Structure 1
Amino acid sequence: MRGTSRGSLQGVADRFEPVLVAAGTDAAGLGEEMFSFVDALESSGSLRRTLTDPSLPGEAKAGLVRSLLRGARGPVADVVADLVSQRWSSEHDLTEGIEELGLWALLASADAAGELERVEEELFQLTRALVSERAVRQALADTTASSERRAALVDQILGAGAADGTRRVARRAAVSDRRRFVETLTHVGDLAAARRRRLVASVTSRTELTPAQRDRLASILEGAYGTQVQVNVSVDPAVLGGLRVQVGADVVDATVLSRLDDARRRLAG
């Protein structure tokens, strides 16, 4: 999503945030109701086209949404009405925007419960565990299987010990067809880091990093980006050069990291 759609989503997200903070842990319920509306939109092309038709007044589209969401809680109807009143580059950007704010609501709930960092870590560990489980990834991506079956598989994988926020995010990732399962978990991990005002560095190393090496790498990256960085490490013996680091769209190799570290030391000294 970019351009007009991204600007529309950001504006609504900024207005929605105080609502989520006020809702506390109940924000998760708001997110689940938003997912239900996303699923309804996905099954109705005519409704998507109507709600993204630039020739229709925003007030008319908002009124239609409020009638459709008559049984939903007020904040859900308000935020979806706000979303459909904006301009979107494509009809699918609207459904993506609603789902994005639904996921944000799940993270706001985890944040209110003091479990946001735990959810972020559990999502990363789950994506890491699935790297070598091709059959499981295929089962989670099998759109011919019912949503209930895919959600049940998530519950089986997570067991009883996962945080509520982790389970909600993973179940949504399994039943939504908008992204692949692991891609959605990675995206939500980035959203969680953003909510904690941290960047995420996805590090692939030929060998395990020691705690001291992790700390040093985080320090180098924080010096380069000017903000806190969450370092998530996966091990892959095939990595050339021993280390691959991705921060957002930036891919940094070990040589660049060395130069950054040298520059940081010169500035400090």
Structure 2
Amino acid sequence: MAAVTSESFASLQSDLAETLRTADLKVADELFAGLDVVDGSASLRRSLTDPAREPADRAAVVRRLFGDKVSETTVTVLEAVASRRWSKDRDLADAVESLAVTAVSAVAERDGLEGLTELESQLLGFRRTVADSHELQHALTDGQAPAEAKQKLAVRLSPEASSEARLLIDRAVAVPRGLRPAALLEQFAEQVAARQQRWIAQVTVAKNLDASYLEKLSAGLNRYFGRELRLDVAVDPSVVGGIRVEVGDEVVDSTVASRLNSLNRNITS
């Protein structure tokens, strides 16, 4: 992320913290709808990110376009986004998406950390369900299938999802913005985890781990990475044995498959 975008997003998070803390799911839904409008118009994105225009002029474009269509809170957030500088027009759209997820997280947080944990669990649970099935992956990435059909499938796969999880899951399967739904849900879950000041550790093992081992593994990884992690464990027999852990960009791979691949490279080099 370029410095200009990083600074703009950091200031947005700070300036809008209270606004988003008291927002409801309607605001999040409206922000996603606004994002769709922005994503659908290259000329609008250029207008809202043109550094030659004054911030107040860019904010005025937002109010003219959305002022009578969405709540005042949503307009305030969109004006704030448009008044910042962005390295690329895509960055502005990404900021709107992230702020929508922040609003959803804030609603879940009203039930305490348990609410955030449950939201994170539901997002990761749906992601695993999709990631474990090639058939579901195909159904949810089929460019010919209408968004409504994908949302109906998502409802069948996650009938117990909370209102907050439902909004984010539906969003990921209907409008993944160039990503696979599972990848976008992982991003959403990472953002929810960050609100809890935690990271998600993607753990891959050859077979299911018992509760006592998971507890020890969690404690060990927390010490290694220096922070509390939430484990998202996936079973993949192809790793043969050992364990693979991904936290952000860092990978710790002690699987048998990895060691065999390394040995094979050394032999053939």
Length-normalised TM-score, structure 1: 0.88
2:259 is matched with which residue? none
Structure-2 separation of matches of 1:107 and 1:100:
10
Deviation at 1:108, TM superposition (A): 1.2
Which residue does 1:221 correspond to in 2? 221
Aligned match of 1:78: 76
* Cα shift readout 1:137-187 (whole Å, capped 9, x = no counterpart): 22212333332222222112212x221111111001012131210001111
Match of 2:195, as an amino acid?
R
**Which aligned segments of 4 or more residues in structure 1 are displaced greater than 3 angstroms?**
none
- In 2, Cα distance between equivalents of 1:89 and 1:144: 33
Question: For the structure 1 residues 9 and 21, does the alpha-carbon distance in structure 2 shift closer, same or farther, using more than 3 Å as the test?
Answer: same
Task: Quote the residue 2:162 is aligned against.
Answer: 163
Say if 1:65 and 1:200 are closer, same or farther in 2 by CA, change over 3 A. Answer: same
| 1:208-241 C-alpha deviation (Å, 9 max, x unpaired) | 1222221212212221232211111111111155
In structure 2, C-alpha distance between the alignment counterparts of 1:253 and 1:133, rounded to whole Å? 24
- Distance change >3 Å, CA 222–CA 87, structure 1 → 2: same
For residues 46-75 of structure 1, give each alpha carbon's deviation from its aligned partner in whole angstroms, at most 9, with x where no partner exists.
111111111111110011111112122122
Pick from 104, 107, 116 the counterpart of residue 106 of structure 1: 104
Counterparts of 1:108 and 1:251, CA distance in 2: 30
Report what 2:60 is aligned to: 63
Q: Which residue of structure 2 lines up, in the alignment, with residue 250 of structure 1?
A: 250
| SS, match of residue 185 in structure 1 | helix
Give the Cα–Cα distance (whole angstroms) in 2 for the partners of residues 228 and 112 of structure 1: 21
Answer yes or no: is 1:29 the counterpart of 2:26: yes
Q: What is the rounded CA distance, in whole Å, between the counterparts of 2:213 and 2:189 in structure 1?
A: 22
The AA in structure 1 aligned to 2:87 is S
SS, match of residue 139 in structure 1: helix
Query: Structure 1 residues 213 and 165 mapped into 2: Cα distance closer, same or farther (>3 Å)?
Result: same
Write the distance in 1 (CA, Å) between the matches of 2:222 and 2:132: 31
Q: Distance in 1 between matches of 2:241 and 2:12?
A: 43
| Aligned residue identity for 1:13 | Q
Which residue of 1 is the match for residue 40 of structure 2?
43
Identity score, percent: 31
Given residue 99 of structure 1, which amino acid in structure 2 is its aligned partner?
A: E
Give unpaired runs (5+ residues) of structure 1: 256-269
Q: Contact (CA 8 Å) 1:203, 1:231: kept in 2 or not?
A: yes
Q: Secondary structure at the match of 1:162?
A: coil
Please say if 1:92 is aligned against 2:90.
yes
| Number of the residue aligned with 2:175 | 176
Number of aligned residue pairs: give it: 251
Partners of 1:203 and 1:232 within 8 A in 2:
yes
TM-score relative to the length of structure 2:
0.88
1:259 aligns with: none
Report the secondary structure of 1:209's partner residue: coil
Q: CA deviation at 1:249?
A: 0.7
Contact 1:51–1:84 (CA<8 Å) still a contact in 2? yes
Q: Which residue of 2 aligns with 1:147?
A: 147
Give me the whole-angstrom Cα distance separating, in 1, the residues matched to 2:138 and 2:6: 31
Unaligned runs of 5+ in 2: 256-269
Contact 2:190 2:199 in 1 (8 A): yes
Q: Which range moved further: 52-61 or 72-81?
A: 72-81
* Alpha-carbon separation, structure 1, partners of 2:2 and 2:117: 28
SS of aligned partner of 1:145: coil
| Range with greater deviation from structure 2 (219-228 or 139-148) | 139-148
Aligned CA RMSD, in angstroms, stands at: 1.7
Q: Distance in 2 between matches of 1:185 and 1:177?
A: 9
